[in-house]
């Protein structure tokens, strides 16, 4: 990205402001990137742990495969999922608050004994599955924000700050050269005037 500028004091002052602003913002952006990186890892670890627990419950579910044929699927359904939002390093992320189930009554005497344990297992599986999805979404949002922040850090560090410093250096050199030329021209004019003045006296 080429920085546009003019060889004058106004442009020099404007570039100086832009450079200071970026140099001041860079540490904040870097700390945000670091915080996001930590939070992405934390969310990934939590999602991994939920996945392991879910797999263990699935194994428990599979163990009872022969019995599930007797189970009435209409006895239990997820009625609602309540979510909250939490800001992490300026990023709004979802947080699971509650999973509400609708449980239909069943006859305890005519139904198999294991129905209560089966319903409990299904509730735990559903809650863990939903929690896993929420953590996966949280991880995606945080990772997206981290990538954007990393891009901004790289833009400031590798492109804009060096670009502004280079432009400021060029303007200063130009102005110094112009000042030196002006002084040289003044000396030449003064020398000529002195020589002309001495020639007139003779």
Domains of the chain: 9-193 (1.10.287.3240)
Query: What is the 3 state secondary structure string of the chain?
Result: CCCCCCCCHHHHHHHHHHHHHHHHHHHHHHHHHHHHHHHHHHHHHHHHHHHHHHHHHHHHHHHCHHHHCCCCHHHEEEEEEEEEEEEECCEEEEEEEEEEEEECCCCCCCCCCCHHHHHHHHHHHHHHHHHHHHHHHHHHHHHHHHHHHHHHHHHHHHHHHHHHHHHHHHHHHHHHHHHHHHHHHHHHHHHHHHHHHHHHHC
pLDDT at residue 14, as a whole number: 92
Tens of pLDDT, residue by residue over 112-165, are: 777 788 888 889 889 999 999 999 999 999 999 999 999 999 999 999 999 999
CA dihedral 175, 181, 187, 188 (to 10 degrees): -160
pLDDT, tens digit (0-9, with 9 covering 90-100), for 57-72: 888 777 777 666 677 7
CA gap 202, 198 in Å, rounded: 7
Instruction: Report the 10 Å Cβ neighbour count for 131.
Output: 19
pLDDT tens digits, 150-196: 999 999 999 999 999 999 999 999 988 888 888 888 888 888 888 77
Please give the Cα distance from 88 to 32 (Å, whole number): 10
Q: In the prediction, which pLDDT does 66 show?
A: 67
Encode pLDDT of 51-60 as tens digits: 999 888 888 7
Q: What is the pTM of this model?
A: 0.74
């Amino acid at each position: 990205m080429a920085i546009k500028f003019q060889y004058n004091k106004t442009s020099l002052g404007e570039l100086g402001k832009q450079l200071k602003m970026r140099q001041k913002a860079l540490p904040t952006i870097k700390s945000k990137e670091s915080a996001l990186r930590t939070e992405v890892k934390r969310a990934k670890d939590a999602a991994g742990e939920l996945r392991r627990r879910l797999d263990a419950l699935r194994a428990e579910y599979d163990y009872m495969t022969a019995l599930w044929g007797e189970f009435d699927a209409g006895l239990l359904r997820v009625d609602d999922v309540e979510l909250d939002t939490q800001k992490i390093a300026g990023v709004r992320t979802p947080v699971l608050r509650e999973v509400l189930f609708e449980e239909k009554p069943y006859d305890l005497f005519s139904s198999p004994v294991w129905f209560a344990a089966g319903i409990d297992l299904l509730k735990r599986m559903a809650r863990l599955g939903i929690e896993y999805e929420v953590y996966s979404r949280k991880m995606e949002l945080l990772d997206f924000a981290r990538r954007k922040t990393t891009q901004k850090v790289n833009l400031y560090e590798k492109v804009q700050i060096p670009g502004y410093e280079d432009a400021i250096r060029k303007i200063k050199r130009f102005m110094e050269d112009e000042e030196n030329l002006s002084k040289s021209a003044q000396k030449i004019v003064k020398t000529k005037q002195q020589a002309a003045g001495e020639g007139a006296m003779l």
